[in-house]
Each structure stands twice: as structure tokens, then as C-alpha cells.
Amino acid sequence: MLDRIAEKITQAELPPLEWYDVMLTLKEAPDYSLRLSELAEKVLLSRSNLTRLVDRLENAGFLYRKSCPNDRRGTYAVLTESGLAMQQKMWIVYAEGISEYFASHISEDEARTLQQICDQLLCQFSKA
């Protein structure tokens, strides 16, 4: 499913799907900003892979780095207005893919059951 959605995003001449996760995570963070170490945890990437991805996003103007005021070694990634706009543009294609390749193949009852399962899992992981 993700491969098909990634292909739809490529066909729409949008950035790679992996960029979406970083931009969405920053969009949901306070002040559109997270320390790189926190961002790496949230998007499930190694620190080195995230650094390379952040480099590409920064070069595209979708985020910028900001030094941590109370820790010289710490760096924040901050989503720009351009990055926010791109995330929203990508979401349109992503949502279409989810609908086409996933949601259209399950019933409303199955969707509710899946939501309950996901909620239970999130609750368990938040306790850990």
C-alpha cells in the first residue's frame, strides 16, 4: 500500500513520501519545532538517516535548523510556512491513496474495530 501511495506522490511531482512524515511530525509539535533527537524517535529513523533527510528538507526550504538556547549541542528542526504548505499538499494525495488502497476495502464496522484496536495499542505504548 505504501509503495502505491509513494508512486502516486511521485506521479504528482511531490517530494518523497518519507519527507511527509517529518513535516507532519513537526506540524503537530509545539511551535512546529522538535529537537533532532526527538524527531528521530518519532519518525523511527536513526539519527544519521534523519540528519541526511533534514539536510534535504532544509535545502528545499521546508524546514530550518535552530540551535538549542540552553544546550549548545542540541539542534531543533523547525517547519517553515513552505513546509507546512507542502505537507498539506502531499496530504491530499496521501489521503486519496489511503482511501483507494485501504479504506475502500473495509466496512464501517471493520473500520470501527480497527480504530478500537489502534486506540488500545496507543494506550499501551503510552504507558510504556
pTM for this structure? Answer: 0.84
State how many domains the chain has. 1
Residue 58 is predicted with a pLDDT of 97
| Nearest C-alpha neighbor of 78 from the set 90, 70, 68, 91 | 68
pLDDT in the model for residue 79:
98
Angle formed by the axes of helices 81-101 and 2-11, nearest 10°:
130
3-state secondary structure of 73: coil
Q: Taking 70 as the threshold, does the pLDDT of residue 128 lie above it? A: no
Give the domain extent around 93: 2-127
CATH of the domain at 54: 1.10.10.10
Rounded to an integer, the average pLDDT of 96-112 is: 87
The predicted-structure confidence for 12-60, as pLDDT tens digits, reads as follows 999 999 999 999 999 999 999 999 989 998 998 888 889 999 999 999 9
